[in-house]
Structure 1
Amino acid sequence: MTNLPRLAALCLPLAFAVPSAHAAQDPAESLQPNPLLVDPVLANPIPTALVPLDPELPIAVRAMIDAAFASGDNDDVEAVARFARRTNPGNVGEIDALLAYYRSEHPPETPPDPIGNMLAAAIASAKDADVEAVGKLAKETNPENAQEIEERLVAYRAERKRLRDEAAAAERARLAAAKFWQHWKGEGQIGASQSSGNTESVGFSAGVALARQGIDWTHKFRAQADYQRTNGKTSVERYLGELEPQYRINDRTFAFGLARWEHDRILGYDTRWNLSGGLGYKVFDSKKMTLSLKGGPAFRQTDFVSGEEDTELTALAGVDFGWQISPTLRLTQVASTIIGEANGSTSSQTALNAKLTGALSARIAYSAQIDTSPPPGIESVDTQTRFTLVYGF
């Protein structure tokens, strides 16, 4: 339907070319075009506007730009392009296109930044002490860039805190899901001695120490056995076992309980039980040095080899010290004193560990057991030196 006027207009000349019978008889009555059949587009054509094209870039200007490109000097290229734009505003698009192509092939050179490179290397090491030291020196030697350096340090600290928080949350989730018998760590030690000549002696020493770190609870277990015969007689016969749970109150303070069983016939008692509890405080707690103090009331029961028994309320004080002297040497000191009305006893062990390879290390330990009121005929001080091999797990 919409093509009818156009079709009629196209066919109209044919109609004019064939004269009708009426036209031959009466020229005055010749056919006139019907306005409804005229195509409005053909009747009123839209005028065409010619858009002028950009002028060509002058040959001299193009030669200058090409020469700057050939030099490879980015500063010269930028200067020539800047003046070319200013003097040839009609060719800005072409000049920018040439400049963009040059920049894609010749990226700008990064000026040397030794301070920035040093700080970046320290940050990559992830060692907080090194980063802070380098950052401090960088700000002191480059005060004009102190603000930028500080911003990099702040970003590094924030990232390190985020990583530590994520690691702590993952560790808490791991511990929360663990069973009580899981995630125990410790060490086992064993040693033996034999001597002949004026004194015939053979000795054996073995021990194990375990620890489990939980979210709020820490459990420690220790067992030690020492046996020695000299000239056919038992000279050392000491066995010990203790269990110590600790509850973390805050980062420094903890509550503890301690159950200890001892057997030492040489010191005159067959069995000695100590039950105690109280509070402890961590004076130092780092990888290099640890020191904790604890104390509280205690209950002690002793069965002497003579058949007598003794039971009394006492007080306990203890110290636990560790010092990582070097990556391969560690010194430890564990001591506790039980103060009673009838008898006081102190046990102490000083040990030096030397790492041999992997989880294996050698240990020399000196232990002392002191009783203020031992049974008759028993020395109040008993000491022992051990040389053992220790395996950590």
Structure 2
Amino acid sequence: MIASAAAREDPAVLATVLSVARQANPDSLDEIDALAADLAAGPAGPEPEPALEVAAAAAPAAASLDEAVWKGSIELGGAIAQGRTETVGGYGVIDVSRLAPGWSQRLTWRGDYQETDGRASTQRLSLAYEPRARLSPQRYAFGLAQYEHDRFLGVERRYTVGAGLGVQLARSEELKIAVDLGPALRLTETREFGEERAAAGRASLNIRWLPTERVTLSQEAAVYADEQQTSAKSITALETLLFGPLKGRLSYNMQYERDARVARSDLDTTTRASILYTF
């Protein structure tokens, strides 16, 4: 009777039959419960073939290769100097990348502030978003959206959008070298000339070298040039692994601005020691 009710594949009917059977046969409750459990489990299926087992085991690994990977770093540094002048400053960088097969995205925030004798002497901020699509193992296309503010170089705000092509000259685990080039549109607001728009050319160089497992040398540089203005940035850094996710970082930062209309050029250089947290 119980088997016939199960064959109808109606849970309500099966539950009713089991209830009646338990009431009619109180001495056989264990056997009835065991039969009910077997019916609920259903018939055992055929054993999987070895090839299917291998494919099932490999599926998670293959899926992980298709998933995007997040990585990044947080850099913090500061300085306090007392004597004939008092200086207090802080520096921070948040660098986050999302890496996926065939493309990547990078978001970078940099902030630098310093006071000397109670007055601001450095006030710099930048935010950049850089997507990149791989065209071949060595070539890629990139985009750029960037905001900058540097009060003491005279740049109240500057927006840049650009795109172009790049090539990886080296792409081993120990050494990576990438060069890219493309056009850019810039909207700049300065205290002297107000708001200006210009088409510019952009070129950049990125080098990352790991001479040992604990030491990393890097170079990031970018140059923008239009008819009137030229600007360049360069960061040369040495990183050494301290413990866990923490690294020590020593960097040399250069910011260059030239305006042909006033025959003036400004060069700002800074050497920093900071702590880097990687994830």
TM-score with structure 1 setting the length = 0.54
Measured on the aligned residues, the alpha-carbon RMSD in Å equals 2.1
Output the CA distance in 1 between the equivalents of 2:152 and 2:260.
Answer: 11
2:155 to 264, 269, 287: 269
Identity over the aligned pairs, expressed in percent? 31
Paired position in structure 2 for 1:350: 236
Query: Are 1:232 and 2:122 an aligned pair?
Result: no
Q: What code does the residue aligned with 1:311 have?
A: R
Q: Which has the bigger relative contact order, CA under 8 A and spacing at least 6?
A: 2
Paired position in structure 2 for 1:174: 64
Q: What code does the residue aligned with 2:273 have?
A: F
CA change 1:194–1:388 in 2 (3 A) is same
Check the 8 A contact 2:219/2:237 in 1, yes or no. yes
Output the CA distance in 2 between the equivalents of 1:230 and 1:374.
Answer: 30
Where 1:380 maps in the other structure, the secondary structure is strand
Query: Are 1:298 and 2:188 an aligned pair?
Result: no
Where 1:266 maps in the other structure, the secondary structure is helix
CA change 1:187–1:351 in 2 (3 A) is same
Of Structure 1 and Structure 2, the greater strand share is in: 2
Equivalences for residues 379-390 of structure 1 within 5 A:
380-390=266-276
Paired position in structure 2 for 1:54: none
Paired position in structure 2 for 1:149: none
Deviation at 1:372, TM superposition (A): 1.6
Deviation at 1:307, TM superposition (A): 6.2
Where 2:210 maps in the other structure, the secondary structure is strand
CA change 1:377–1:384 in 2 (3 A) is farther
Check the 8 A contact 1:267/1:378 in 2, yes or no. no
Paired position in structure 2 for 1:107: none
Check the 8 A contact 1:172/1:215 in 2, yes or no. no
2:102 to 216, 223, 236: 216
Paired position in structure 2 for 1:366: 252
Deviation at 1:376, TM superposition (A): 6.3
Paired position in structure 2 for 1:192: 78
Equivalences for residues 251-262 of structure 1 within 5 A:
251-262=137-148
Deviations along 1:27-79, one digit per CA (max 9) or x if unpaired, are xxxxxxxxxxxxxxxxxxxxxxxxxxxxxxxxxxxxxxxxxxxxxxxxxxxxx
Of Structure 1 and Structure 2, the greater helix share is in: 1
CA change 1:228–1:220 in 2 (3 A) is same
Where 1:325 maps in the other structure, the secondary structure is coil
Output the CA distance in 1 between the equivalents of 2:172 and 2:278.
Answer: 20
Output the CA distance in 2 between the equivalents of 1:374 and 1:325.
Answer: 41
Check the 8 A contact 1:272/1:301 in 2, yes or no. yes
Structure 1 gap segments, 5+ residues each: 1-165
TM-score with structure 2 setting the length = 0.75
Paired position in structure 2 for 1:392: 278
Deviation at 1:173, TM superposition (A): 2.7
Deviation at 1:219, TM superposition (A): 0.7
Output the CA distance in 1 between the equivalents of 2:88 and 2:260.
Answer: 26
Q: What code does the residue aligned with 2:63 have?
A: A
Q: How many residues align?
A: 223
Check the 8 A contact 2:133/2:142 in 1, yes or no. yes
